[in-house]
Amino acid sequence: MSNISVTPLSNACGAEISGVDLKNPLKSSVSAEINQAWLEHCVIVIRDQDLSDIDQVNFAEAFGQVGDYLRPDTLRNDAMKDRHRSVMFVSNIVENGEAIGTLPDGEMMFHTDTGYAQNPHKATTLFAIEIPSKGGNTIFSNQYKVYENLPKRLKKLLSGRNAQHAYEFGVMVKDKEFYNGPDVRTATHPVFRVHSETGRRTIYVNELMTESIEGLSAEESREVLKEIFALQKEKQFCYEHVWRKGDLIMWDNRCTLHARTDFPKKQRRLLRRVTIEDSTPNTAA
Ligand SMILES: [Fe+2]
């Protein structure tokens, strides 16, 4: 057995893993233990790490094929062009007049990463390099629990249905019902899915990217989504992470959503993102 310990962070989801230094290559027995904790808690937090781009990519590769950066090259700024193809910076920092990352300031609505793709990435790793003195927290919502607590009426109504997802790169708060900008991506996914590794049922819609449910009238779709989005925000289903420099988080995009709280605009925030592809896509429930 390894020295790692797993401590749950809330009743909703999340666990802190300690006793591991990610600068060193992970033994397969340790990555198996971490994977097990991750599947159980949906979000894992490993603190006090000091990771380069390649350290983070190596960590992610222990759990699957690292995901390509899906944004168009025209949206990949010069500072990123020489970095590993999977690295994306989430940051509000501007250097020499150019933003070094994406998704700069303020609040961000609940979403799941790459949900606008036909085969979304199963996991995201995010590493904290610079963190503001307050705010910029990440809230995770457990979609197994939201599914379990969905009214029977909605389970029946939505069973077997698909939802239309869309995203316009760079949007953090959606202020219109349908995206109509130049860089919109779209995908269709079942509303209810079976997680391919845990076999548990989950709901796969979110406020930032899900625009409508197929087969319902526009009004009914709007009302149903509004009801689900409210449920996803309930505190009982959420864990709010207050970042510290050196935190590495890996979350499961198949069964969680995440959102960001606002933070002071003048303070620097810099996190490095590397995603992991899904080799066994979820099936409809
Ligand atoms: Fe995200």
Summarised one tens digit per residue, pLDDT across range 20-78 is: 999 998 999 999 999 999 999 999 999 999 999 999 999 999 999 999 876 666 666 66
Identify the three-state secondary structure at position 1: coil
Domain ranges (residues) in the chain: 5-278
How far apart are the CA of 22 and the centre of ligand 1, in A? 22
Distance 2 CA to ligand 1 centre (A): 31
Reported pTM: 0.95
Question: Distance from the CA of 36 to the center of ligand 1, in angstroms?
Answer: 23
Distance between Cα 226 and ligand 1 center (Å): 20
Task: Give me ligand 1 centre to Cα 160, in Å.
Answer: 27
CATH topology for the 5-278 domain: Double-stranded beta-helix (3.60.130)
Q: How far is the CA of 28 from the centre of ligand 1 (A)?
A: 28
pLDDT of residue 119: 94
pLDDT tens, 158-167?
999 999 999 9
Mean pLDDT over the full length of the chain: 94
Distance 199 CA to ligand 1 centre (A): 24
Report CA(259)–ligand 1 centroid distance (Å). 7
Q: Would you state the pLDDT for residue 72?
A: 66
Please tell me the distance between residue 107's alpha carbon and the centre of ligand 1 in angstroms. Answer: 12
Q: Which protein residues have their CB within 5 A of the ion that is ligand 1?
A: 113
What are the residue ranges of helices labelled H in 9-151?
Answer: 28-41, 53-61, 78-81, 143-148
Distance 3 CA to ligand 1 centre (A): 31
Compute, in angstroms, the gap from residue 111 CA to the centroid of ligand 1: 6
